[in-house]
Structure 1
Amino acid sequence: MIYSIFKNQVFIRNGSWIPPTCAKNASFLRIISALVVRYESGIAESRHWFKTSYLINTIGLSPQSAVSVSKKLHFETSKQPDTVISFLEKHGFSKAQIRNIIQRWPESLLCNPEKNLLPKLQFFYSRRISRFQLLRILAVNPSVFRTSLDNSIIPNFNSFKEFTGCDDDQVLLAYKNDSSILTRKFQSVFAPNLAILKESGVPESTIIVELVLHPRIFSVKPDKFRGIVEEVKKLGFDPSKRSFLTAVQAFLQLSKSTWERKIDLLKQWGWSNEEVVSAFEKYPKTMMFSEQKISAIMSLFVDKMGWKSSYIAKRPVLLAYNLERRIIPRCLVLQALLSKGLIQKFSLNFLVESTEKKFLQRFVIPYKDPYLLKLYEQKLGLPE
């Protein structure tokens, strides 16, 4: 508190004091207390406003983001934040990238850039990584700046590269997908799980590709990882095929409750237990799509187009395609052809899965109808 009561006297920090007769008055003390609290609150509010204003005007954060970030920082002048921003600009980070770094790591504004940031940047500069790619990835995932260079970054970088045989820029790509590639010990976290896959017959080439693209699935505890690998084997997945690791990824990413919700959802669309299992075995990503995506696509196929739910269950890859950019435009063209009696037989698989060129050659070009192409391009959002 700014004041204290001692031997019936009220002392203010600036050295003045209030005589005992006033200090004995309870009402007077309550007034003094209220004024002091208001005074201190005003100081705190002023400091908070300075930080928020700085984050908005200097860095370009939105007011909402600025308030959120300011709660994690304590600075009363712009000296240190200005030093950090100047350092990042000097090394080529754009204003948008600096803004991303601060939003993801607010404390960066208070670090010593020469000590905390420069050594990491110098290490990456020494590798065969393009400056453009380096800045872009570090702006998206600045976790490495908070990690020990000698104890973590360098040994993990070298271990990852030695195992995969990939280029330096691919190590950084893996880091972008999961920061633990460089922030957690590779030999104790990733290596045991990679060994489990090798023992199970997963080709090393497949492991390497997945490690770069989806490193997060390899960062769980080995006991849990081994249990899931064995479960996937029991379901009949072939370790030599890519779908094996996709199934492992699905089991790792989805909680039991999420599995149950998605199974219930598919049953609501008429799938049996056997069809759900069969669809997962054919295309493991089926269970990784959001419930909203599954419902939207099934509604279009079943409710609006009148196709049987069981057909989709036999061809679950149909759920993988983008609803707005592919499925809806193509279905509208098909409906137009059917309504005009221009087509009787068609393959749903070909309709959805074919390339753009093949789709146009099969469903648009032969009919020489300008309306079909215009309808299709409008739904794709292409200019007329």
Structure 2
Amino acid sequence: MTAFRICKFFGAMIYSIFKNQVSIRNGSWILPACARNVSFPRIIPLFVVRHESGIAGKEQPFSISYLINTVGLSPQSALSVSKKIHFETSEQPDTVISFLTNHGFSKPQIRSIIQKWPASLLCNPEKTLLPKLQFFYSKRISGVQRVLSSNPDVLKRSLDNRIIPNFNAFREVTRCNDDQVFSAYKNCSDVLWCDFPSKIASNVAILKESGVPESTVMAEVVVHPRAFAVNHDKFRRAVEEVKKLGFDPSKYSFLTALQAFLQISKSTWERKSDVLKQWGWSNEVVLSAFEKYPRIMMFSEQKITATMDFFVHTMGWKALDIANRPVLLSYSLERRIIPRYSVLQALLSKGLIEKFNIYFMLASTEKEFLQRFVIPYEYPSLLKLYEQKLGL
């Protein structure tokens, strides 16, 4: 029997079964007797999947086929992108892809640009893309392709009216180099296209008036520009809140606490406080932990809960011990805490260690940990255990 006849036969069978003869008993699907002993070949699920997807086979639009076969998008991503652009020939998309390839963009980077900016496939690359790339090349900025593929937003903007004025203004305000301007853009696309320099100027002035060293302020603007792109009144209120908690403006922790207040709403703060209170922390303990390590309130509720649970229920610590060293909550459960604790348990079970500092074990660098707790011991499977826990 030919493939066509097989498809036609089973297609008719499926139609008959599901239209007329499928019954339900106690919540279960019951096939008719004629179909119960039928051995369905692999073509059946393939037929059903293609019918449900609606984007495969001969009826597939050209744009989706192109995005899948040429660009390398998944069917789901191709469908999503195709809703934002439409083309019936490969002429213009081929021109854009060829242009990007000739300018050093890899296939994954091109795919990333198209996913984040679908209209790029239909632009005139010589007019839209080339002048901006030439500007960045002229600055001898490293990693142009890598940064633009992760955030192509600036490629949509006017070179003369937005990019160049903002680039120069940001560099002048922060006194950073060209690479650092581009690095700041990667963290916040507003840097190169909105009225960012004037927006941050007033907020930077508040910090200087509060006693934050100018060099510290400028370094923070480059690393976390988004924190300075907020409403001026909101920024001022956050600064006052941090002052009330007693943070020293001359220390970097002041800016870390400020960043936390700017990122976290009052309701989010209360939710995270409630999570910590479930472990016996009082309001005073929560604030004390925040003062010691402000980033604690930037972690997700899920991370806080999972890490606290491991420390208390697996390692046997008291919850208040962690409040005294809140930086412990910053460590990755999968990449640091569990692998290192597993090594400690192995050393103890073999009698290879008696005295140890668990805080040092967790806080030490990877090199320090290996040299102190793994390499010195004649225990061949210890390193293997550690690597397995790391997922290596």
TM-score by length of 1: 0.83
| 1:59-138 equivalences in 2 (<5 Å) | 59-130=71-142, 133-138=143-148
Cα distance between partner residues in 2 of 1:208 and 1:48:
52
Cα distance between partner residues in 2 of 1:173 and 1:360:
33
Partner of 1:281: 291
Residue 141 of structure 1, CA deviation: 0.6
Cα distance between partner residues in 2 of 1:65 and 1:186:
32
Residue 254 of structure 1, CA deviation: 1.6
Partner of 1:142: 152
Mark the CA change 1:343 to 1:166 in structure 2 (over 3 Å): closer, same or farther.
same
Mark the CA change 1:47 to 1:146 in structure 2 (over 3 Å): closer, same or farther.
farther
Report the 3-state secondary structure (helix = DSSP H, G, I; strand = E; otherwise coil) of the residue aligned with 2:61.
Answer: helix
Partner of 1:270: 280
Cα distance between partner residues in 1 of 2:383 and 2:128:
57
Counterpart contact for 1:144–1:183, Cα < 8 Å: yes
Q: Count residues in correspondence.
A: 337
Residue 74 of structure 1, CA deviation: 2.3
Residue 344 of structure 1, CA deviation: 4.4
| 1:1-384 equivalences in 2 (<5 Å) | 49-130=61-142, 133-365=143-375, 367-382=377-392
Counterpart contact for 1:92–1:135, Cα < 8 Å: yes
Counterpart contact for 2:167–2:192, Cα < 8 Å: yes
- Counterpart of 2:102 in structure 1: which amino acid? K
Residue 47 of structure 1, CA deviation: 9.3
Mark the CA change 1:66 to 1:374 in structure 2 (over 3 Å): closer, same or farther.
closer
Report the 3-state secondary structure (helix = DSSP H, G, I; strand = E; otherwise coil) of the residue aligned with 1:220.
Answer: coil
Offset from partner CA, 1:38-87 (integer Å, 9 cap, x none): xxxxxxx9997111111111111110000000000122322222222222
Counterpart contact for 1:48–1:70, Cα < 8 Å: no
Cα distance between partner residues in 2 of 1:119 and 1:369:
60
Counterpart contact for 1:170–1:212, Cα < 8 Å: yes
Offset from partner CA, 1:123-173 (integer Å, 9 cap, x none): 11111213xx00111111111111111111111111111122222111111
Mark the CA change 1:92 to 1:372 in structure 2 (over 3 Å): closer, same or farther.
closer
Partner of 2:20: none
Partner of 1:37: none
The higher radius of gyration belongs to 1
Cα distance between partner residues in 2 of 1:242 and 1:48:
56
Cα distance between partner residues in 1 of 2:375 and 2:89:
67
Report the 3-state secondary structure (helix = DSSP H, G, I; strand = E; otherwise coil) of the residue aligned with 1:206.
Answer: helix
Mark the CA change 1:365 to 1:90 in structure 2 (over 3 Å): closer, same or farther.
closer
Cα distance between partner residues in 1 of 2:89 and 2:385:
59
Counterpart contact for 1:72–1:107, Cα < 8 Å: yes
> Once structures 1 and 2 are overlaid, which stretch shifts more, 239-248 or 79-88?
79-88
Residue 351 of structure 1, CA deviation: 1.7
- Counterpart of 1:272 in structure 2: which amino acid? S
Mark the CA change 1:117 to 1:310 in structure 2 (over 3 Å): closer, same or farther.
same
- Counterpart of 2:183 in structure 1: which amino acid? L
- Counterpart of 2:344 in structure 1: which amino acid? L
Counterpart contact for 2:147–2:186, Cα < 8 Å: yes
Structure 2 portions without partners, runs of 5+: 1-56
TM-score by length of 2: 0.81
Residue 322 of structure 1, CA deviation: 1.6
Report the 3-state secondary structure (helix = DSSP H, G, I; strand = E; otherwise coil) of the residue aligned with 1:295.
Answer: helix
Cα distance between partner residues in 2 of 1:46 and 1:235:
66
- Counterpart of 1:55 in structure 2: which amino acid? L
Cα distance between partner residues in 1 of 2:74 and 2:367:
43
- Counterpart of 2:137 in structure 1: which amino acid? Y
Residue 341 of structure 1, CA deviation: 4.7
Mark the CA change 1:62 to 1:373 in structure 2 (over 3 Å): closer, same or farther.
closer
Cα distance between partner residues in 2 of 1:356 and 1:335:
18
Mark the CA change 1:102 to 1:333 in structure 2 (over 3 Å): closer, same or farther.
same
> Once structures 1 and 2 are overlaid, which stretch shifts more, 338-347 or 314-323?
338-347
- Counterpart of 1:350 in structure 2: which amino acid? F
